[in-house]
Amino acid sequence: MGTAPNHFLGLEKEFSDYAPSKTVVIPAPFEASTSYQQGTSRGPQSVITASHQVETFDIELGQDCHTQGIHTLAELAVQGKSAKTACDLLYKETKKILDDGKWPIMLGGEHTISYGLFQALFERYPDLSIFHIDAHTDMREAYEGNPYSHASILYLIRKQCKKTVHVGIRSMCEEEALYVKKNNIPVYYDFETRKTGLPQDEILGHLSKNVYITVDVDGLSPQVVPSTGTPEPGGLGYYETLDVLKKIFKSKNVVGMDFVEMMPIPNVVYGDFAVAKIIYKCIGYKYFL
Ligand SMILES: [Mn+2]
């Protein structure tokens, strides 16, 4: 391994060319409205670099899971663009990937960029539901006057798609709390699920057949992923995250995924590696469960 520096896992040609690959990784290093620590535009490359250290043999699944092919696109030219233009670019790219019958995994970049992926998936799968891991609900109507911001992305999405489930949540403003209550949205608050565990069957009950999974990596504990712009204490553990994802992959059709808000910290690589490993676990769950 380690032969192709810009490819996820550093896979050789046989397993990373576009045509035979079932999975396509889309690096989308968009950063415009980050509010605390900056640097999420470097997130996609840091995860790809870390992925070169991930062992391709999966112990749990008892096999190599890269054999269905994982193609990695060049970084989308989204940086410096408006959020709308950046999302349009990702939308078009995702549409093409779906037309080709492939499975998209997007790497952000700030959460705003997820809107482009969502649009392409929702257009293709009108019954789409969304499983959202995040420390924050991201349901402000706008953030600093901007409806296309990392803090309002789920509000924007929910204007079109109401079937959403949220876990890891441990920070939101009053406006968001009222919105959640008023719309009876299944939000699983971290301070409660720390005690009870995630109610996996109940979560599955809220999801339709075709599921889009959006992971803001700050939904996980900073002990697992410190490399993010707005770290929050608490959060999902590594195995807890894998357990719920596995359950969803087992009983639903996961039509697309993204991992956003990674912000590499110089010389602190274990968070980048954890994210790379979770992505590879998901590829295994998609094709080998
Ligand atoms: Mn967040």
Lowest mean pLDDT among 72-86, 114-128, 139-153, 176-190: 139-153
Average pLDDT over every residue of 118-137: 98
State the pTM of this model. Answer: 0.97
pLDDT at 83: 94
Query: How far away, in angstroms, is 111 Cα from ligand 1 center?
Result: 8
Query: How far away, in angstroms, is 167 Cα from ligand 1 center?
Result: 11
Q: Answer yes or no: is pLDDT of 3 > 80.
A: no
pLDDT at 4: 63
Q: Answer yes or no: is pLDDT of 1 > 50.
A: no
* Domains in the chain: boundaries: 8-288
Pair of tokens at residue 264: 């590499």
CA-CA distance, 187 to 51, in Å (whole number)? 31
Query: How far away, in angstroms, is 203 Cα from ligand 1 center?
Result: 20
CATH numeric code, 8-288: 3.40.800.10
| Strand blocks (E) in 116-275 | 129-133, 164-169, 187-189, 210-216, 253-260
Query: How far away, in angstroms, is 71 Cα from ligand 1 center?
Result: 27
Query: How far away, in angstroms, is 105 Cα from ligand 1 center?
Result: 18
Query: How far away, in angstroms, is 172 Cα from ligand 1 center?
Result: 10
Q: List b or e across 49-84, with b for residues whose CB sees 16 or more CB atoms inside 10 angstroms.
A: bbbbebebebeeeeeebbebbbbbbebbebeeeebe
Average pLDDT over every residue of 79-95: 96
